[in-house]
Amino acid sequence: MPDLLPMGRVHGHRGRSGELTVRVASGEAARWSDVTEVWLRRADGEAERFDVEREKAYRDRWVLKLKGIDDGNAAAAWRGASVAVAFDHAPELGEFEHWHATLVGMEVFAADTSIGTVRDVQPARGADLLVVQANDGGELLIPLHRDIVVDVDEQAKRLRIDPPAGLLDLNRGND
């Protein structure tokens, strides 16, 4: 199995032909229009590869018709499954764009001091939020904005932030 990039979750299905509706986690649904294959992974971890017959962006969702999922019952069985693509088939990213999955696990530095590790990325209006497990045991919410996250080194699994005064005290999550 190739290295997979999680890109969304099956939200439900449409019609009788087995179309899946996918809530996209990274970027807009239209970004995925050239994808020719996807992997669906159930909660038990089992993953299965499917060829894309057709797709379209619809509102805030991505609608997929996959070969082998040919009716509403077959589609309903995949509700809640994660949807992934092979990293080497992922769309190109623009400047200061990062796949959420690559940020998770990165060590976060303010100046030269480690402050924690990215545990999750939460979509939010304006700027997504890095959920950071702080080294002191708490949780920090840091906006993923180019004025705050000043360097992302995917090879070293490190990101450097330059937070405005008080941000780290203000954006404490569930301590």
**CATH code of the domain occupying 4-89:** 2.40.30.60
Closest Cα to residue 52, out of 34, 31, 71?
34
pLDDT tens digits, one per residue of 160-173: 999 998 888 876 76
Question: Element (H or E) spanning 4, and its range?
Answer: strand 4-14
pLDDT tens digits, one per residue of 15-56: 889 999 998 876 666 777 788 999 999 888 888 999 999 999
How many degrees, rounded to 5, is the angle at CA 122 between CA 106 and CA 6?
Answer: 70
Q: pTM of the predicted model, to two decimals? A: 0.69
Looking at the DSSP assignment, which residues form a beta bridge with residue 121?
130
Task: Please state which of the four CATH numbers 1.10.3720.10, 2.30.30.240, 3.30.360.10, 3.20.20.70 is assigned to the domain occupying 100-170.
Answer: 2.30.30.240
